[in-house]
Chain A
Amino acid sequence: MANEQERVIEDGPGHVNDRKLPMSEVDSIIDSIPAMVAFMTPSGELEQVNRQILDYIGIPFDELKNWQASDTVHPDDLPSVTAAWMHSVDTGTPYDVEHRIRRADGVYRWFHVRGLPVRNSEGTITRWCVLQVDIDERRRDKVLIAKALADVSRSEERLRGIIDAVPGFVWSASPEGSVGFVNRRWCDYTGMSLEEACGNGWTASIHPDDAPGLGNYWQALLHSGDAGEYEARLKRFDGIYRWFLIRAVPQRDEAGRIVCWYGENTDIEDRKQAEAFLAKARSELTHLARVASLGAVTASIAHEVNQPLAGIITNASTCLRMLGADPPNVDGALETARRTIRDGNRAADVINRLRALFSKKSITIENVDLNDAAREVIAMLLGELQRNGVVLHPRFAEALPPVKGDRVQLQQVILNLIMNAVEAMTTITGRSRELFVSTGQEQDRSVYLAVKDSGTGVDPQDMERIFNAFYTTKSSGMGVGLSISRSIIEHHDGQLRATAHDGPGTTFTFSIPCADESAPTDNRDVSGRVMENH
C-alpha cells in the first residue's frame, strides 16, 4: 500500500515539474492525492503542503512553516526527527522515520514519514517530496502485541517460578499420557533431567513393586478421563525410596476433550511411616491377644479334662492290678471300676460345661453390620497382610442388612478365617497371594461373609476334618481356630463351610440369618417374612 503511494509520488512531482503544469493545476493535483504530502526546499524549509495536511494539523500554513519550534511533532520524537531530517538534507539520502504528529484536536497519531529528493536533469535536488502515512492503528496493535508478548513471557516466567517453588512435584502429560513437563523439584529429587523424564522416562523413578500397579491405574485414568490419585514410592537421586501421593487431573477444552493432564506428587513418607508403625503395633497386639485367648481357652479345657482323665487312668490301672493278683481282689476291682465310670462321667460333664461356656458366655446380642465388623478386623490386619505380601480385595455388598449376634465373637471368626487364609499363602511362590473378603445376601436373605485365598488349598478328604478341634497341619497351630469359629457361627443359627473354588486356594463362608425385625427399610419384604414365620 505504502509502496504504491510512494511510487506515485516519486513519478508524479517529476513529471509535474518537467511538463511545467500551471501552478493552480499542480495544487489541485497534490490536493487530490489520498495521503498527506508536503514539499520541502533543498535546504529543508517547508515549501508547500496539501489540503490533507492542513486539515489534519488544523493550523495555517504560515504557522506550520515553523513546525520545528511547535509541538506539531511529538516533543519526545522531535530531537530524533530533526536530526534525521538534517541528515537527509545534508546528504541527499531518503528520509524514513516513524513519529507522532499532532492532530487538530490535540491527539497525537503515529505516522510513517518518508521523504525523497526530486532532482533536475543535472541531478541537483530541486525539492523534497515528503509522504506521511497514518500508521497509528497498526502501530498501536504492534505495541499492544509486543506488550502482550512481554506480559505473556513474564507471566510464563512467573508461572514457572511458582511451579518450581511449589513444595511438591508438578508435571503435565499429553492426553495419551506421555509426560512433557516435570518441574525442577521433581528433577532435583530424582536426579533425572527433564529430557530423561519425558515420555515414559519418569517410570524409572517408581519403585519396581509399585510400578505395575501405578501403570495399570494410570492407563485406567487415561481411558476413563477421570481424575485420580495413587500412592507409590519414588526413588530419590541417592537411591532412597519415599512414599508419594500422585494425583492427576485432566484439563479439558470447551468441547470436553482432554487437552492435557496435570499432575502433582506430594511426599507422604512421614504419614506412611506413622501408619505402618501403627498397623504393626496393632497387628502385633491383635496377634498376641488372639494367641493368648486361644492359649487360655485350650489351657483351661486341658486342665478341666486332665483331672478326671488322671483319675480314670489311675483307677483303670489299679483295677487291672487287683484283677491280676493271686488271688484276684474282685471287690477292690469293682470299686475302682465304679470310680472309673464316675470319672468318665465327670470328664463328659466338663466337656458339656465347656460347650455351654463357649456358646453362651457373655454374649451380647446386637445388630451387627458384617461390613463394618469385617472392615475393623481388616484395619487391624493391614500390616500383617502387607508383611506377608498379600493383596487384599474387599468386595462388600451395599445396603447389607444387619445380623443379630455378638459382634466380638463374629469378629473373632473373621479374624480366624483371614489368619488361616494368610497362613495358607505364606509358602506360595510363583503366583500372587490374593485375599478376597466379600459379603452379600443369599437367596434365603441370610447374610454371608466369604474369605477366599489363593493358598495351598485343602485336600477334599480333609474338608470336614479341619473343623475338628486340635486338628492342625501347622507346627505352631493349636488347631482350634476353625472349631471355635464353627461353634460361634452355629450358635448364631448359621453355617460355616469350606469349599474349593476354581484355581488354587480355598473359600471359607459363613452365613447368618439377617435381623429382619430391625431392617424396616423394605417393608414389603419384612411383612412377607413375618407372614411366613407365623
Chain B
Amino acid sequence: MGKYLLVSVVDDDESVRESLPDLIREFGFAVQAFASAQAFLASPYLGLTDCLILDVAMPGMSGQDLHRELLRRGYRIPVIFITAHADASQQAKLMNTGAVECLFKPFSEAQLLKALSAALPLD
C-alpha cells in the first residue's frame, strides 16, 4: 500500500477512464478512476489519493467545483486539470486556483509525465 503513490482520475468520458489509468500504471503508480465528482467524494480513496487528475467539464459537479470542495474540506491534494476546451484564459484561471497543471486534450505522454512529477516529488 505504502509502496505505490495513488493517482485518482475523475472524468465522465469513458475512453479516458479506460486508457489513462493503464498509462499511469505503466508509469508505476497505483490508479483509481471515477465517473463523477460525487463518486470520488463518496469513495474510500478520497483520503488516500496523492494526486488527482480532474476533468473540467463534467455534468453535475464540475472539476472546479470538486477542487473547491476538497479545499473547503481541508484536503491538500495536488490537482492536474485536463480539458478538451483549448481555452488559454480558462487555463490561467484554473492555475490561479492552485492547480499543479492544466493539460489540453489530447496531451502527450511526456506532458502528462511532467505534470505528474511536478505534482508528486519522487523520492
Contact = CB atoms under 8 A, between A and B. Distances in A.
Interface of A: 299, 302-303, 306-315, 317-318, 321-322, 325, 332, 336, 339, 342-343, 346
A318 B19 contact: yes
Contact of A303 (B26, B84, B108): B84
A346 B15 CA distance: 10
Contact of B18 (A309, A311, A313, A325): A311
B85 A303 contact: yes
Nearest to B25: A318
Given A317-B109, A322-B26, A307 B15 contact: yes
B100 to A, nearest CB: 18
Nearest to A332: B22
Contact of A315 (B19, B82, B105, B108): B19
28 contacts: A299-B85, A303-B84, A306-B84, A306-B106, A307-B15, A307-B16, A307-B84, A307-B105, A309-B106, A310-B13, A310-B16, A310-B107, A311-B13, A311-B15, A311-B18, A311-B19, A312-B106, A314-B16, A314-B22, A314-B23, A314-B106, A314-B109, A318-B26, A325-B26, A336-B22, A339-B19, A343-B15, A343-B19
B46 interface: no
A294 B52 CA distance: 34
A307 B13 contact: yes
8 interchain residue pairs of minimum CB distance: A311-B15, A310-B105, A306-B84, A309-B106, A317-B109, A314-B19, A310-B106, A321-B26
Contacts of B61: none
A438 B107 CA distance: 48
A317 B15 contact: no
B15 to A, nearest CB: 4
Interface residues of B, number: 21
Contacts of A309: 105-106
Nearest to B108: A313
Interface string B83-110: 0111100000000000000001111110
B20 A314 contact: yes
A318 B24 CA distance: 9
A438 to B, nearest CB: 40
A314 B15 CA distance: 10
Contacts of B26: 318, 321-322, 325
Contacts of B15: 307-308, 310-311, 339, 342-343, 346
Nearest to A298: B86
A339 B104 CA distance: 20
A162 to B, nearest CB: 66
A346 B87 CA distance: 23
A302 B16 contact: no
A333 B36 CA distance: 28
B14 to A, nearest CB: 9
A310 B57 CA distance: 15
A314 to B, nearest CB: 4
Contacts of B105: 306-307, 309-310
B115 to A, nearest CB: 13
Contacts of A311: 13, 15-16, 18-19
Contacts of B84: 302-303, 306-307, 310
A302 B85 contact: yes
Nearest to A340: B19
A315 B26 CA distance: 11
A114 B104 CA distance: 123
A292 to B, nearest CB: 14
B23 to A, nearest CB: 4
A307 B11 CA distance: 11
Contacts of B20: 314
Contacts of B87: 299
A387 B57 CA distance: 41
A472 B56 CA distance: 30
Contacts of A322: 26
A311 to B, nearest CB: 4
A318 B22 contact: yes
Nearest to B14: A311
A306 B16 CA distance: 11
Contacts of B104: 306
Contacts of A342: 15
A332 B18 CA distance: 12
A307 B82 CA distance: 11
Given A314-B19, A317-B108, A325-B26, 6 more contacts: A303-B84, A306-B86, A311-B13, A313-B106, A313-B109, A343-B19
A49 to B, nearest CB: 122
Contacts of B106: 306, 309-310, 312-314
B76 to A, nearest CB: 27
A313 B103 CA distance: 14
A106 to B, nearest CB: 109
Given A308-B15, A311-B15, A311-B16, A321 B85 contact: no
A443 to B, nearest CB: 47
B80 to A, nearest CB: 13
Question: Considering residues B19, B20, B82, B105, which has the most beta carbons from chain A within 10 angstroms of its beta carbon?
Answer: B19
